[in-house]
Amino acid sequence: MKSIFFRIVLLSVFTVFPETAFGQTSGITSGAVYTLKSKLSNKLLNVSDASMNNSASIDCRTDTKSDAQRWIVTHTGNSIYKIANVASGKLLHVVALPSDSVNIDQFSDTGSDDVKWIIRKAGQGSFYIKPAADPNSSLNLHAGGIADGTDVDLAVSTNSDHQKWFFQKETDKEDTSPEIIAGKVFDAWYSSYNIESVNGYFWDNAEMMEVVLDAYEVTKDTRYITRFEAMYRNFIVKNGADWQNNKYNDDIAWMVLVSVRGYLLTGKITYLDKAREQFDKMYARAFNYSYGGGMLWYHSKTTK
């Protein structure tokens, strides 16, 4: 008997409130990327100036195909959503306690109701976006403006089109963040020029190893250390463990510097030992009192 009763209750919930079954609004996919288009102006919810900063204002603009106009909508439970900008990663945020004309901006996740929203159907495929702190208010085109740059704020809920929004699901597009682009450029350079096994000499090898160490220092991605170590081993195979056969003292100095840096970034003492050994040998032959004292550029020539 209880089982029949609960089935009837559950069926009633789906029938009376179909858009909130399981706490989610039907037509909205949690985790999907959307553009939010105003029913009134046909313009998109936009982070002003494509800012990455907290407190950047929110307005409406013509579609620019920018990630500043793309939003990840995530259900957090109990019919509550967070709406994160794809470009900045920051959340749609109520600046102050909800009331008429309160501004909307983007902000880091505070965990509070000021970054939480209720999405409710408004008819004809559109939705109201309401602050969790006050469901009697709605996201609103300020003063019903339709021009590019019209501010978005909160207003007491009405049936007006300037409070209705179309959620347009976006297809995934290639990540164009600076980190991803830099990684692709690096990989193209590394593979195209066969960097790991290049048959180079001292200075050019050292500079390429510096590039790899730069990449590691910025990203902390250990694949760059793996590549550095492979390049270093290849250098030793091609040029020998003792670098004094190179008559150019500055070439040896370049490899000493990259060895020291390899030690500083990896902690492997073998790099420091090699740097110390080769520098001491090079210094012993390079230092000369000619021309006031200093290190000779080329071994056996009295020029600096």
* pLDDT tens digits, one per residue of 189-219: 888 777 777 666 898 889 999 999 999 998 8
Spatial distance between the Cα atoms of 165 and 187, rounded to a whole number of angstroms: 42
For residue 186, give both structure tokens: 């690096």
* Count of CB atoms situated within 10 Å of the CB of 142: 17
Cα angle value 262/267/272 (rounded, 5°): 55
pLDDT for the residue 100: 67
Nearest alpha-carbon partner for 107 in 164, 38, 60, 47: 47
pLDDT surpasses 90 at 241: yes
Spatial distance between the Cα atoms of 262 and 272, rounded to a whole number of angstroms: 8
pLDDT for the residue 5: 38
**What are the pLDDT digits (tens) for 35-75?**
999 999 999 999 999 998 999 999 999 999 889 999 999 99
pLDDT for the residue 173: 61
Q: Where are the domains of the chain?
A: 2-169, 178-295
What is the identity of the amino acid at 110? T
Q: Which residue has the higher pLDDT, 134 or 263?
A: 263
What is the identity of the amino acid at 40? L
pLDDT for the residue 181: 72
* Count of CB atoms situated within 10 Å of the CB of 185: 10
What's the pTM value of the predicted model, to 2 decimals? 0.54
Q: Are 106 and 56 in contact (CB under 8 A)?
A: yes
> Does the domain formed by 2-169 have CATH 2.60.120.10?
no
Spatial distance between the Cα atoms of 107 and 94, rounded to a whole number of angstroms: 9
For residue 78, give the 3-state DSSP assignment: coil
